[in-house]
Amino acid sequence: MTTTDGTIVIDAEHPTEPEQDAPTEGRIESRPSTWKIFLRKPSTLIFLPLLLIFALISFVGPFFVGSPSATGNPTLLPPGGAFPLGTDDLGRDYLARVVYGGQISLLVGFTVALLCMTIGVVVGGLAGYYGGFMDSALVKVAEFFQVLPGLILALVAAALLGSNVFIIVAILAITMWPSCARIVRAEAMRISKLGYIESAKAAGFGGIRILWSDVVPNAMPPVLVATSMTVGRAILVESGLAYLGIGDTSRPSWGALLNSAQAYMQQAWWLALFPGMCIFLVVLAVNMLGDGLNDALNPTIGRVK
């Protein structure tokens, strides 16, 4: 309490309680983990189950469908009854062919993406961290492979070596890895100038150890996003090559099914519809998941939104 002369007197019987600080507006809250943010996004909740369903059908479905090459059924039978997706011009069950075709398309997409990420991390990490002559040499190598026309290279390889799925995977990986390497190189150059990298160098750690334990792990977020986008690109390119007849005829993919359906577009619409829808939905799912992963891994974008 305060007297008339302005002196402050503390009442011993009723001590004043210290005022609590008002809650500060704009207080920084702990940010949820990256994967929690990713899994809670609407695009993830829709397209991740969709992609898993396609993968499950493609790799488990063959145990429950017939042989994709078995003939003897009515030809060009519309979907329905014993043949949910109809039959093709040779009387083969189209459901079995679409299921087996998904194996090839998904394997090509994910294998090419994994190879591109592996090569890109090694080449881009070494170039960005060490710089100098190594950077110049590796950048020239990446530029050489980047300008290679993938379609022409696939045609030449198919003529010389035969068109099988392994050659297609190798060609796509050779022509797609430079984009991933450029991302890793840029991130490695940025991270190598940070304080904790300088501290690690001053502590006597070797360059290779710093590169693989400190630089590369911190450069992975944009690399993971680029890798997810590469899956969709690889599936589209492989489907395009198969549509042009460059593919493994013993293991037809969705693109090869589209190639076979060209002559029956008017009388057998289902031959082009089902593999085309599969390509569209899988590529859409992969790209939407990549976009959601980009938002989750980049906190700046998350704050702006």
195-219 per-position pLDDT tens digit: 888 888 888 888 899 999 889 988 9
CB contact at 8 A, 74 and 87: yes
- Written as six digits, the tokens of 50 are 């969709």
By percentage, how much of the chain surpasses pLDDT 90?
51
User: Which pLDDT score is estimated for 179?
Assistant: 92
Give the mean model confidence (pLDDT) for residues 12-30. Answer: 48
User: Which pLDDT score is estimated for 303?
Assistant: 46
Q: What is the mean pLDDT of the chain?
A: 85
Give the mean model confidence (pLDDT) for residues 19-47. Answer: 70
CATH superfamily of 34-55+68-304: MetI-like (1.10.3720.10)
Q: State the Cα–Cα distance between residues 222 and 224, nearest whole angstrom.
A: 5
Q: State the Cα–Cα distance between residues 151 and 217, nearest whole angstrom.
A: 34
Widest distance between CA atoms in the chain: 112
Per the listing, tokens 């003897």 go with: 72
User: Which pLDDT score is estimated for 127?
Assistant: 94
pTM over 0.85: no
